[in-house]
Amino acid sequence: MKPVAIAIIFRYKAKKVEIMTQLRLVKNKSYDPLYDRTHEAIGETLDKHETGWPKETFLAAAIRGIREECGRPDFEPVGVYGADMKLLEHCMVDTGKGDSYFACEPFCLVQSLGPPQPWFGPAFLVEAASDFEPDYANADGEADEHTWWAPLDLLAAMEADPSRFMGLHLEPLRLAATELS
């Protein structure tokens, strides 16, 4: 299984909430033959040490993913939310013995049970500033053409044609749109 963190970006603009999706650009079709040019949230596989152990938390991977995929290395979230819209602030546990643990209640947990990849991991709601926009000219080339959705419009689009959305991100986006509507 490949550990992946999903970040669902939302913002408040003129007192209305908007949820961002972007079009997924799949460069290696053997890695993902299913989801090129589908709407997605941000998804980032955890970086690993040469030993195979992760060298970042799921939350750090989610923020790194926003910075890389959206071409915004300066991105800082207004807030990151987990279950029950709980603001995630203190997620690290350190026993003082050289070990540390990441512990939080994510917004939801997803797992791919088939193609294209055996992914699993948490999804987080990430609030961006009201003027946040991706800069794909400075991004890693994994995404393009973002859309800001009103929650009810996103729900209607997903219900009308779920094939337009990246499968692993579909349910987290649906839950986010429901929670934020």
Within 8 A by CB and 6+ apart from 24, the residues are 35, 36, 37, 38, 39, 40, 142, 143, 166
pLDDT at position 92: 84
- The whole domain housing 160 covers 2-180
Look at residue 11 and tell me whether its pLDDT is greater than 80: yes
Number of Cβ within 10 Å of residue 37's Cβ equals: 13
Mean pLDDT computed over 46-60 = 85
pLDDT in tens, 100-148: 888 999 999 999 998 999 999 999 999 999 999 999 999 999 999 999 9
In the chain, the number of structural domains is 1
Look at residue 53 and tell me whether its pLDDT is greater than 90: no
d(CA 178, CA 108): 13
Q: Domain holding 98: CATH number?
A: 3.90.79.10
pTM over 0.85: yes
For CA atoms 18, 44, 78, 80, the dihedral sign is: positive
Residue 128 tokens read as 């961006």
